[in-house]
């Protein structure tokens, strides 16, 4: 891997982690487009670390208020904390189950989730749903504090679909949030907050797996370049999405996904 490849992959990870166009789909398909080798586990760990830091930095005031409120037993902050954790539980539990099955079946599930056909189906399918959402849910006005635990759990169930490559975790959680009457901006913000425990868990799992495999086969310079690219582009993507969705809908991302899916079909099939 060259430093240019590391920067490009880092930029794509940071941008597509928070813009609903599927980070896993891009990171899976990009090496095939350019004939690159698949990035090693150590590099994936670093990219997740970069996007996690971007989330923490951007939402630091809100996270600080959340922790302080929970410690001071402020009911509104306790409710928000419950919602964030509850929303992360379904996908986290399913992720653990898949990891166990993968371990027992020599990565059979993971290999299936990486198939190009599945990625293409999810890229185009979610793209269509993003376009439809602008028609059905354009007048939503609910805020995060107005939804209950039932609605939160439904959003968490929707987040399970993000384990399918090509789906987009932010895309499916924003869509599910819209079905629960959240406004576009509030759905996006809740999506990002819910992703913190999930990305942190995935980061810890990858670190543990990396330690077991002991497979450090990438230069430290490339790791640093990928980390910084993912961190910076992640910050930009979070800020962009929250501002964009105040006034605009999701159709543009849906159209992009459909075009991307068609291009992938032409090139890979």
- Can you read off the two tokens belonging to residue 125? 């399918």
Q: Which residues contact 138 (CB under 8 A, 6 or more apart)?
A: 249
Residue-wise burial string across 117-126, b where 16 or more C-beta atoms lie within 10 A, e elsewhere? ebbbebbbbb
User: What pLDDT, on the 0 to 100 scale, is given for residue 63?
Assistant: 94
Distance CA 48, CA 9 (A): 12
In Å, what is the CA distance from 99 to each residue of 67, 95, 206, 211, 218?
30, 6, 11, 16, 24
Distance CA 169, CA 91 (A): 10
pTM of the model: 0.88
**Cα–chain center distance at 144:** 19
pLDDT in single tens digits along all 269 residues of the chain = 788 888 998 998 899 889 998 776 676 667 767 777 766 666 777 888 899 999 999 999 999 999 999 999 999 999 999 999 999 999 888 888 887 887 788 777 777 777 878 888 999 999 999 999 999 998 899 999 999 999 999 999 999 998 888 888 899 999 999 999 999 999 999 999 999 998 888 888 777 766 766 655 667 888 889 999 999 999 999 999 999 998 899 999 999 999 988 888 887 76
């Amino acid at each position: 891997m060259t430093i240019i490849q590391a920067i490009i992959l880092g930029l794509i990870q940071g941008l597509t982690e928070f813009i609903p166009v599927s980070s896993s789909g891009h990171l899976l398909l990009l090496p095939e487009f350019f004939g690159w080798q698949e990035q090693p586990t150590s590099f994936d760990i670093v990219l997740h670390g970069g996007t996690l830091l971007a989330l923490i930095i951007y939402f630091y005031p809100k996270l600080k208020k959340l922790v302080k409120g929970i410690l001071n037993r402020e009911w509104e902050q306790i409710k928000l904390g419950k919602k964030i954790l509850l929303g992360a539980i379904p996908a986290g539990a399913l992720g653990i189950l898949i990891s166990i099955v993968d371990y027992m079946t020599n990565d059979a599930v993971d290999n299936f989730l990486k198939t190009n056909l599945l990625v293409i189906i999810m890229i185009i399918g979610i793209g269509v749903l993003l376009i439809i959402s602008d028609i059905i849910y354009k007048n939503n006005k609910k805020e995060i504090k107005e939804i209950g635990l039932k609605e939160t759990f439904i959003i968490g169930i929707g987040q399970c679909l993000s384990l399918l490559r090509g789906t987009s975790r932010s895309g499916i959680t924003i869509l599910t949030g819209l079905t629960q009457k959240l406004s576009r901006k509030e759905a996006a913000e809740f999506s990002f907050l819910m992703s913190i425990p999930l990305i942190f868990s995935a980061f810890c799992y990858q670190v543990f797996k990396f330690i077991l495999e002991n497979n450090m086969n990438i230069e430290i310079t490339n790791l640093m370049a990928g980390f910084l690219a993912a961190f910076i582009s992640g910050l930009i993507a979070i800020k962009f999405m929250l501002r964009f969705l105040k006034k605009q809908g999701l159709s543009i991302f849906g159209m992009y996904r459909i075009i991307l899916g068609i291009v992938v079909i032409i090139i890979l099939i």
